[in-house]
Amino acid sequence: MDLTTDFFSLFQLPRAFRIDLGELDARYREIQAQVHPDRYAHAGEGVRRLSMQWATRANEGYLTLKKPLERAKYLLHLAGHDLQAESNTAMAPEFLMEQMEWREAVMEARSGGDHHELEHLHHRLRQDLQGRYEELAALLDDKRDPEAATEQVRRLMFLEKLLLEIDDALASLEDGEMDN
């Protein structure tokens, strides 16, 4: 086995956004059963180190391919497309306005302690994300348009961060309810 092989090859999956997650899970378990360090506890130092490297590589690959956003970033990386997430912050004005509206709604609901509204925002954003991931799948797998996919991934990064903010707001409200 080659430690430099890409994650799709490692798990014997097609290099695509749409993958069978059940197949990924099964292949991950198979690899871990073969390379888990516990299996080589009594082997020599070199074998134990190699086992650890393989287990780490399998974990890294599994976590990358399991999450849609990370899988998309990885596909773009393999195709030689840099997201420029840190240096390229330019976004369409409509998208930026939409982000401001979302964030204002979250801040209002959080400051007002409106658990119901935060759950509603969470549900709406999840639906929006689902549609955007379907669009991303079409861009990557069907149209093979890495430039448009890169833009979509950059937008999804913003939206996933917003989802985490809503989750944090819900958790802080729930923690506050427990304290009462």
CATH of the domain at 163: 1.20.1280.20
Q: Is residue 81 part of a domain?
A: no
Stated pTM of the model: 0.90
Note whether 34 and 99 are same-domain residues. Answer: no
**Overall domain count for the chain:** 2
Q: What is the mean pLDDT of residues 2-6?
A: 89
Instruction: Please give the mean pLDDT across all residues of the chain.
Output: 94
pLDDT tens, 14-53?
999 999 999 999 999 999 999 998 999 999 999 999 999 9
> What is the C-alpha to C-alpha distance for residues 155 and 91, in angstroms, rounded to an integer?
8
DSSP letters of 42-94?
TS-HHHHHHHHHHHHHHHHHHHHHHSHHHHHHHHHHHTT----TTT-----HH
Note whether 99 and 175 are same-domain residues. Answer: yes
Residue corresponding to tokens 């969470």: 122
The pLDDT of residue 128 is 97
Q: Is residue 102 part of a domain?
A: yes
Task: Give the Å distances, CA to CA, from 41 to 46, 51, 130.
Answer: 11, 10, 43
Percent of the chain residues past pLDDT 70, beyond the cut: 96
Q: Is residue 73 part of a domain?
A: no
Smallest CA-to-CA distance from 79 within 127, 17, 138 is with: 17
| Domain of 23, in residue numbers | 7-66
